[in-house]
Each structure stands twice: as structure tokens, then as C-alpha cells.
Structure 1
Amino acid sequence: MKISVPATSANLGPGFDSLGLAIAMKNQVIIRPSKFHSVSLKGEGANNPALKDNNMFISIFNDFYHNLAVKKRHYRFEFYNEIPLSRGLGSSSAVIVSAIASAYAIEGIKLEKSKLLNLALAYENHPDNITPAVMGGFNVATVQENEVKFINKSIPNILRAVVVIPNRPISTQLSRKSLPFKYSKEDAVFNISHSSLLTAAFMSEDWRMLRTASLDKVHQKYRMKQMPELFDVQKTSLRSGSLMSTLSGSGSTLFSICFSEDAKKIEKALKTKFPHFKVFTCDFDNSGVRIEI
């Protein structure tokens, strides 16, 4: 059985903890019957032996598998990771979603995506990453009475993502601590209006509206101060033709959207100016979690 889950970019500027989308960079897990439990890891995190011994996927998988399985079996888990760790691209959400989906699939139990999403909420209480990981595409999500309420929209192939991954992380925990305890009414209204406009732009496919709609006063500038060169990355991306450019999740990745024909030019400009960062163009993912048996 093979399970794949896409990377995600959350917040998208003003949509703090509520907006997110999926990009075509995946973590895959292949699960095979085995005489004894074993784990192999390739790709991102492969050089960290602690990830084998303290594997979040195995822990969450076992939480469900031991309750679902009539007869316990041993398996070999082969991880192929494309999503970098601690870079704001939803690596934790990918692990959570794939682990839960695997436990059900391996027992032949059908699991609706909406139920998977709500089960994942117990491990990740912000829906902006887990929703696109499950559903793919662009998502507006909130939590009401321990249930994720969301609207999903596919992203057309006329758009591309340009991703800039710095050579060091920003701690999510420290990143949240950097945010103000209080916001002015003006800043709150600014973000509500821009988040609403950004949602409307995606739903109506008014891509020229993205630059204005993606402005934020709640979190980005506070987080980006931990890595000031990100301000220059953002300016370079926008000057080179991006439709929008925002911090991905809590960082340190800077995520941009552009028209397909502009992607290579933007990528080249960013690579030239920031040679010590990883820069690449990526498609969007409209499928979300996928299971092949």
C-alpha cells in the first residue's frame, strides 16, 4: 500500500489559521507485510536517526491500528519524504493525515475525507494545514464544535507556485511567541477584509486581485523579522512578476503564486539573488491524500 500527502502552504498572508492550499510536493509511505516491525527513511530527514526511533507517523498509526485491527500484524514502513522539516510547508500535517489514513486503509475500512479531517484535528488543532493536506486545492476552514467546516476550490493549471526555502528554519513555537498579545481594531478589520477579498479572488479566479488581497498586519512582519532577508525575497518575487508572495505557515519558506508563463523568470531572479536558498517552481495539488493498494 502506498499513501501520499502533499505539502501545504498556510495563512497565505491575511488568512491566519484559516486559509491554506496544497502544492505538488509529497511525502510518500509504502507499507508492506513483514515478519517484524521495521522503518526506512529516504529524502528529507533521512540523516536524522531520531526520526526512526521517535517516529510520529508510527505513534499515530498505532493509536488507530490497535483499536481497528482484529488481528495484529507486523509491517515494514518505507518513508520517501520531499517535504522539508520545520520550514512552514506542512510536514507535520502530512505525517498526521497519512498515519490515520493508513491505519484505516490497511484494515480495509473506508474512511471519508471529512471524517479523516476531523480525526486529524485531535493532533493538529489549526485547520489551515490539515484541510489542504486531506482535500488538495485551496481551502477556507474553521473549527466549530470540534469539527472542521471548510470550502474547497481546485486551482487551475494556469498558475504555478514558486517556493523559496531558506537554509535554516524558524521555530513555530518561537514564531507564535513573537506575535502581539493585542491588535488594534484597525488591524483586525484590515485582516478580515483582506482575507475575505483573498478568498473571493480564489473563488472567482480573479488572479490580479491577489497582490492586494494577500496583504497582512497580524503575523507576517513579526515572524519575518527573525530572518530579515525574507523581506527582500518577498520584494524580489513581487518585482519579478509574482501575483502574490507570502510567508508559508510560520516560515521560514517564502511562497509565491504566479502565472505559468512567468514562473521561470521569477525562479531565475530569486536563484540569482539568493544562491544560498533553495528555489524551485512547483505545480499545485488538487487531490490531497491518496491511497493506492
Structure 2
Amino acid sequence: MTILVPATSANLGPGFDALGLSLKLYNEVKITKSSLSSVSINGEGSDNVALRKNNLFISVFNEIFKDLSGSDENFRIVFDNKIPFSRGLGSSSAVIISAITAAYFMAGFKVDKQTILNKALIYENHPDNITPAVFGGFISAVINNNAVVFNKFEISNELKAVVVIPNKPMSTSQAREILPKSYTIKECVSNLSHAAFLTSCFGAKRYDLLRLACKDVMHEERRMNALSELFEVRKMAYENNALMSSLSGSGSSFLNIVYADDAKNLQKKLSEKFSDFRVEILDFDNDGFILMQS
């Protein structure tokens, strides 16, 4: 089997741990039964020898496969990774979703996407990351009785993402330590109102209001202080017709949403200014992961 899982961008300004979307940048995993176990890694992580042994996919896959089948078997697994590690683009969620899906399939079980999503909560308790990886689109999600409940809006193909990927990673756990232990009522109300408004903008396709809607006062700028260039990224994006510019996940990547006609110009300006960073134009993914039998 082959599985493709898309990158995701979560938090989306005020939507802390609640809002996320999916991007057409994929990790691909091919897995076949074999007489001997083997792991090959291409793309992101290919130079990390330790990943062949200390691999999140392997641990999740083996745990679920054994639980379902009651047996240990050998597999040849080939990773072709396009999603960068520790850059706020959902690499961990992509690994978890692909591992769960592969385990069910190789154990001979047909399972729906909702089951896979709920199972993923065991390994990743942030629904804004895992839900768009499974279902695609723009997602507003909550957890209820150990299950993810969500609404999805498809993102128009008139939009593009211009994603800035710095050469420095940001650890999610360290990024959380930066945040205060409590917030004022004013801060909470600001984020609640802007997150609700942001969701309604995607639902109504009022993309012209995204800049106002994505205002955050809880986490974004505190995390951006760890890489001060991100303030200039946001400033330049808005000066060049970005509809929305926000930290992707906990960073260090930055998500800029533009109309398709403005994408190349923004990519050019950002690439010239930040020559050490990758700047990619990506489409939005409205489908989530894809499973293919071979």
C-alpha cells in the first residue's frame, strides 16, 4: 500500500489548538510485507540515521498492528518525506495518521477516516493538527468524549499559500513553555471573538476579511520573538497583498494566504529578502490523506 498525508497549518492566529487547514505538501509511505524488516528514508530526515530505529511511524504502526492482528510480521517501509521536521507544518501528525492507517490496512481491516482520526488522539491530542491531515480543508474542531467533532469548509482554488520555511526549527514543547500560565479576560475574549470571526470568514468565503480575523494576542508574537525575522516576514507579506499572515503551528514556518495572481510576486519578494529561508507556493488540500492499494 501507499499512503499520502498532507502538511497542515494549525492555530491560525487566534485559533489556538482549535483551527487548522491542509496544504498540498505530502509525506508518502510505501509498505509491503517482507521476509525481513527494513526502513528507507528519502527527502526530509534522510540524513538522520537514528530515524531508522527511533521512528515514530514504526512505534505507532507496530503497536496498532500487533493489537489488531495479534502477531508480529516483517515489513519493508519506504518513506518519501516532503514535510519538514519541527517547522510547524504538521510533520508529526502526518506520521501518526499514516502509521495508524497503514496498520489497519496491513492487518486486514477496512476502517473509515473518523475512526482513524479518533485513534490518532491517543498519540496527538491537538485536533487542529490531525483533523485537516485526515479530512483536508479548513477545520474547526473540538474533542468530545474522546472523539474529534469538527466542521470543515473547502478552501477556494482562487487562493494560494505562500509558506516561509526558516532554516531554524522550533520545538513545540519549548514553544509552549514560552506562553504564560494565565491570560486576562480581555485577552481571552479577543481571541474567542477573532477565532469565531476567522471561522465564519472561511465558511462565507470572505477572504477579504482574513487579515482582521487572524489577529491573535495569546501566543503568536511571543513565539515569534524566538526568531525576530518573522515580524519582517509578516510586514512584507501584508505590504504585498497577503490576505492573511500567521505563524504556522508553533513555528518556525509562516503561512501567508494570497489570491493566486499575487502568489509569485510575494514569493519573489520574500525569497529576495530572506535568502536563507525556503519560500514555497502551495495549493490548499481539500481531501486529506489518500490511500492507494498496489
The answer to whether TM tops 0.5 is: yes
1:25 is aligned to 25
Is 1:110 the counterpart of 2:110? The answer is yes
| Whole-Å separation in 2 of the counterparts to 1:112 and 1:171 | 32
Q: How many angstroms does 1:219 deviate by?
A: 0.2
Q: Give 1:166's aligned amino acid.
A: P
Distance 1:117 1:70 in 2: 22
Matches within 5 A, 1:1-293: 1-69=1-69, 72-293=72-293
Shift of 1:70: 5.8
What CA distance in whole angstroms lies between the structure 2 residues aligned with 1:129 and 1:187?
Answer: 23
Report SS of the residue matched to 1:285: coil
Q: Tell me the distance in 1 between the aligned counterparts of 2:232 and 2:28.
A: 33
Gaps of 5+ in 2: none
Q: Distance in 1 between matches of 2:48 and 2:71?
A: 32
1:72 is displaced (CA, Å) by 4.3
Cα deviation, 1:153-184, whole Å, max 9, x if unaligned, reads: 11111110000000111221111011111111
Deviation sequence 1:88-144 (CA, Å, 0-9, x none):
000000000000000111233111111111100000011110000111111000112
Tell me, in whole angstroms, the C-alpha distance in 2 between the residues paired with 1:271 and 1:202: 28
**Residue 229 of structure 1 aligns to which amino acid in structure 2?**
E
List runs of 5+ in structure 1 lacking aligned partners: none
1:213-241 deviations in whole A, cap 9, x for unaligned?
A: 00100100110001111000111111111
Q: TM-score, normalised on structure 1?
A: 0.98
Q: How many residues align?
A: 293
Of stretches 109-118 and 70-79 in structure 1, the one that deviates more from structure 2 is 70-79
* Per-residue CA distance 1:34-72 (angstroms, 9 max, x = gap): 111000000001000011111110100011111222664
Q: Quick one: distance in 1 between partners of 2:107 and 2:66?
A: 11
Distance 2:110 2:238 in 1: 44
Q: How many Å separate the matches in 2 of 1:70 and 1:87?
A: 36
Q: For 1:153 and 1:97, locate their aligned partners in 2 and report how far apart those are by CA, in whole Å.
A: 21
Percent identity for Structure 1 against Structure 2: 50
Secondary structure of the 1:4 match is strand
Letter in 2 for 1:40: S
**Residue 80 of structure 1: CA displacement?**
0.2
Separation (CA, whole Å) in 1 of partners of 2:238 and 2:20: 20
Normalised by the length of structure 2, the TM-score is: 0.98
RMSD, aligned CA:
0.9
